[in-house]
Amino acid sequence: MVSDSSLVALGEASVAVLGSSLRVMTGENGRFRIVAVPAGQYILTIHRLGYVPVSAALQVGAADTLRFAFAMRRIATELDTVVVSGQKLIPRLSGFEARRKFGFGTFLTQEDVERQHAVFVADILRLMPNISVVWSLTGETADNTRFGRKCAFQVVLDEIMLPTPTDVDLLPSPRDIAGMEVYYTPAMIPLQYRSATSTCGMIIIWTKGE
């Protein structure tokens, strides 16, 4: 079930399984159901217009039924009217381009990603300095090794904070990626993305969706 922070049911919320085509909408009572999911680990993402997206890592067992309740926080900030001129961009990438001009992180554009001809995001991360992709029983994670110790990056996908550590094998294919940002220290992370789980740095990924 999906509700707001006051536990009022939210209909028309989009619920998706990351890395797959599975996507359903909640009904008027805020409820949704996804059936016949093979056993394994998944990341669930939930979007609804006017609310902060949420995500959760799920472990599905064989012949198992999971029941979860998700509370979404309303986006209360109102912005003044802004007039923008210049090259047309995917709206979500305007922040990416602005931060890239300042150069406080490491940035990969869509062209940079395509030049690598990578099959998985993990293949791209392995080629970046101070990033170690580590395999475990729960999947592959991207660890920050800049300061002589390994700790997992916080991963953000299209403004959704994914559970930490994130199994990078569940991320979208490189052919669907429009840009990537890597921040190796908490001080470098843009203010709007800082959280209690981002002390080891952050990887922000933007897909080509509108």
The predicted pLDDT at position 25 comes to 94
pLDDT tens sequence across 160-199: 899 888 999 989 999 999 999 999 999 999 998 988 888 9
pLDDT tens sequence across 136-153: 776 899 999 988 888 999
Global pTM value: 0.72
The predicted pLDDT at position 135 comes to 86
The predicted pLDDT at position 88 comes to 47
Residue-level pLDDT, tens digit, the chain, 210 residues: 999 989 999 999 999 888 788 889 999 999 999 988 888 888 888 989 889 888 888 888 888 888 889 999 888 765 555 555 544 456 678 889 999 998 889 999 999 999 999 999 999 999 999 999 988 776 899 999 988 888 999 999 988 899 888 999 989 999 999 999 999 999 999 998 988 888 999 999 999 875
Domains, the chain, in order of start with CATH, read 2-72 (2.60.40.1120), 91-207 (2.170.130.10)
Q: What is the 3-state secondary structure (H, E, C) of the chain?
A: CEEECCCCECCCCEEEECCCCCEEECCCCCCCCCCCCCCEEEEEEEECCCECCEEEEEEECCCCCCCCCEEECECCCCCCCCCCCCCCCCHHHHHHHHHHHHCCCEEEEHHHHHHCCCCCHHHHHHCCCCEEEEEECCEEEEEECCCCCCEECEEEECCEECCCCCCHHHCCCHHHEEEEEEECCHHHCCHHHCCCCCCCCEEEEEECCC
The predicted pLDDT at position 79 comes to 53
